């Protein structure tokens, strides 16, 4: 089984975690944030390595991170703070089995050749555990800072995808894309597979047909079960119509796992508060809706994040083991 199949088997849900592993959006976490003097949306990363190792040891399928190069107070979210590829390199060295996903690298503000080289490096260092989620970017403040045009980012996104796939190939010579280049010039290292699994975050101003043809999976924003089911059906129908192999449908859930195991769901933005037994039922509903991987985000968790990670691993993960 290759790495994308680990989260892409139809009818089987796998469970991952979204970084940062902090509860800075909960009341207790917000109090600590203020005591530490951190702006809103800047998480506590003091024990990030311990928690990442814990997730790996306990059998979570994937760790997901975002690409936020600049903290913008108007957005109020610094993600995991670390630069994405630097952090992926670190995580690849301290974990063994867990997949390392990006949701998502903002390709239009990055140089595609260096992005391709960075991704191939991580893929090799992690022994093939990279899932490269890519997005268009929605923070207009970032584009002029990197000397990039915001308006034509969708076109640059497509060109960047094509270039990265090309240079990852053996004999992926650069003169086929650039004039005046030595015919033998190419980018090393090469990844463990001809193409690193690419996952689209959202639509990125692309058609669903383009996403299905060019990407190996689709990561959607958190939605309720019914809305997710509609999108998963549309995705699977598109993949089938284009006569492609089944591809994963991934989403996330902002979880507050409360102490009462039978506590019913109280929805909040992008997720909800509930006990582990109701969480199990909810995840079965998402599985039936066609979701193949769920990334749980714990920034709203009212209890210590370690407790939630351990409780989910004990009572939930065994239910969804392939």
Over residues 6-26, mean pLDDT: 95
Rounded to 5 degrees, what are φ and ψ at 165? -60, -35
Q: Give the pLDDT confidence of 105-146 residue by residue, as tens digits.
A: 999 999 999 999 999 999 999 999 999 999 999 888 999 999
Report the pLDDT value the prediction gives residue 8, as an integer from 0 to 100: 85
Is the pLDDT assigned to residue 322 strictly greater than 70? no
What is this structure's pTM?
Answer: 0.96
pLDDT higher at 262 or 322: 262
User: 193: pLDDT confidence band, cut at 50, 70 and 90?
Assistant: confident
Across the strands, what pairs with 133?
A: 199
DSSP-derived pairing of the beta strands 271-274 and 266-268: antiparallel
Report the pLDDT value the prediction gives residue 1, as an integer from 0 to 100: 55
Q: Which CATH architecture has domain 4-320?
A: Alpha-Beta Barrel (3.20)
Q: Give the pLDDT confidence of 20-56 residue by residue, as tens digits.
A: 999 999 999 999 999 999 999 999 999 999 999 999 9
User: 10: pLDDT confidence band, cut at 50, 70 and 90?
Assistant: confident
| Mean pLDDT rounded to a whole number for the chain | 96
Q: Work out the end-to-end distance of the chain between its first and last CA atoms, rounded to an integer number of angstroms.
A: 12
Peptide bond connecting 51 to the previous residue in cis, omega within 30 degrees of 0: no
Report the pLDDT value the prediction gives residue 242, as an integer from 0 to 100: 98
- Cβ neighbours for 135, distance < 8 A, ≥ 6 positions apart: 67, 103, 104, 105, 106, 107, 200, 201, 202, 204
| DSSP output for 59-125 | T-SEEEE----S--TTTT--TTSS-HHHHHHHHHHH-SSSEEEEEEEEGGGS-HHHHHHHHHHHHHH
Supply the DSSP symbol for 140: T
**212, 168, 221, 223: which is closest to 192 by C-alpha?**
168
């Amino acid at each position: 089984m290759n790495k994308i199949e680990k989260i892409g088997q139809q009818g089987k849900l796998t469970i991952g975690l979204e970084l940062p592993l902090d509860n800075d959006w909960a009341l207790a976490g917000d109090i600590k944030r203020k005591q530490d003097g951190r702006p809103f949306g800047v998480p506590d990363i003091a024990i990030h390595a311990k928690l990442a190792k814990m997730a790996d040891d306990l059998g979570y399928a994937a760790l997901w991170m975002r690409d936020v190069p600049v903290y913008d107070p108007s957005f109020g979210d610094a993600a995991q703070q670390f630069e994405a590829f630097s952090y992926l390199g670190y995580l690849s060295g301290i974990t063994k089995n867990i997949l390392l996903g990006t949701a998502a690298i903002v390709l239009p503000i990055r140089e595609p050749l260096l992005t391709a080289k960075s991704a191939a490096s991580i893929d090799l260092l992690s022994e093939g555990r990279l899932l490269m989620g890519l997005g268009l970017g929605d923070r207009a403040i970032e584009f002029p800072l990197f000397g990039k045009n915001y308006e034509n980012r969708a076109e640059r996104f497509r060109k960047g995808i094509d270039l990265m796939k090309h240079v990852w190939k053996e004999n992926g010579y650069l003169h086929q894309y650039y004039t005046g280049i030595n015919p033998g010039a190419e980018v090393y290292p090469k990844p463990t597979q001809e193409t690193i699994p690419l996952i689209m975050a959202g639509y990125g101003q692309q058609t669903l047909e383009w996403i299905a043809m060019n990407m190996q999976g689709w990561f959607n924003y958190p939605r309720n079960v019914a809305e997710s089911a509609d999108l998963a059906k549309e995705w699977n129908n598109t993949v089938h119509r284009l006569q492609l192999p089944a591809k994963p449908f991934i989403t996330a859930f902002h979880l507050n796992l409360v102490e009462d195991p039978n506590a019913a769901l109280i929805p909040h933005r992008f997720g909800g508060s509930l006990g582990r037994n109701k969480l199990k039922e909810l995840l079965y509903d998402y599985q039936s809706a066609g979701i193949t991987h769920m990334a749980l985000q714990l920034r709203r968790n009212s209890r210590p994040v370690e407790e939630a990670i351990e409780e989910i691993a004990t009572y939930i993960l065994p239910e969804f083991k392939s």
